[in-house]
Amino acid sequence: MAEINKQKRALYERYFSGLGKICLKLGLTPNILTALSFLFAIISGIYFWKVEIWWGIIWMLLASLADILDGSTARAGNSGTVFGGILDHVCDRYGEFFILAGIALSQMVHPGWALFALFGMIIASYTRAAAESIGKIENCNVGIMGRPEKFTLIIIGAVLERYFPNSRWLEISLIIVGLASYVTSIQRIIYTYKQLGNKKEV
């Protein structure tokens, strides 16, 4: 699973490396792109709240693109910083909150399922962060579903909800995202244990 995720990450990096160079030429720094991703996520959440589904999807896609480009730009310009990485992770979590809060407030789904998916996404991310910071594991990006796949599922559910109102497709997609997130968290805990075993705290 870890090897598959590494291959996917390498594919993303190769595909978007050219766009990262373009961003540098336009004067867009990684932190600016992180801020834009956060802003786009807020706008997406507002549109979902207003039940303007297509606009919510469009801004969600823009938020995802900006999030991908901040890393590509950092690599292209060799300008990645520790603070930038922390800012990126924090803004990602806030962005997820605003998008899912907008969906919850829209009454297209039961708010409980939106909270279920949101907490799942946060705990999966936190498990990875704890493994890498506390456990000093180089990369704990393992699990059945990453952030891009979760966003893709939510977008598919939103599209189906747009054309089949009250079909509960969006709610179903949130349930799947939540379940996959909890499974991912457990997989990361197991992976961390395999890497660390009974290593004592320093």
CA–chain centroid gap for 25, Å, is: 26
Taking the C-alpha atoms of residue 141 and residue 131, their distance in angstroms, rounded to an integer, is: 10
Structure tokens belonging to residue 188: 């990361």
Torsion of CA 121, 127, 130, 133, to 10 degrees: -80
Taking the C-alpha atoms of residue 108 and residue 110, their distance in angstroms, rounded to an integer, is: 7
Q: What is the pLDDT of residue 99?
A: 97
* Closest-CA residue to 30 (of 97, 76, 64, 62): 76
Q: Which domains does the chain have, with CATH numbers?
A: 2-196 (1.20.120.1760)
- Give residues with Cβ within 8 angstroms of 184, minimum separation 6: 124, 127, 142, 143, 144, 145, 146
Q: Is the pLDDT of residue 198 over 80?
A: no
Q: Average pLDDT, whole number, for the chain?
A: 89
Structure tokens belonging to residue 89: 């992770």
Average confidence (pLDDT) over 109-123: 96
Q: Give the pLDDT confidence of 5-60 residue by residue, as tens digits.
A: 555 555 666 666 778 888 888 888 889 999 999 999 999 999 999 999 999 999 99
Q: Is the pLDDT of residue 2 over 60?
A: no
- Give residues with Cβ within 8 angstroms of 154, minimum separation 6: 60, 99, 103, 117, 170, 173, 174, 177
DSSP-based three-state secondary structure for 145: coil
DSSP H or E run through 156: helix 147-163
Q: Give the pLDDT confidence of 63-86 residue by residue, as tens digits.
A: 999 998 888 888 887 877 889 889
* Closest-CA residue to 100 (of 65, 24, 26, 92): 92
Per-residue DSSP letters for 102-132? HHHHTTSS-HHHHHHHHHHHHHHHHHHHHHH
Q: What is the pLDDT of residue 23?
A: 86
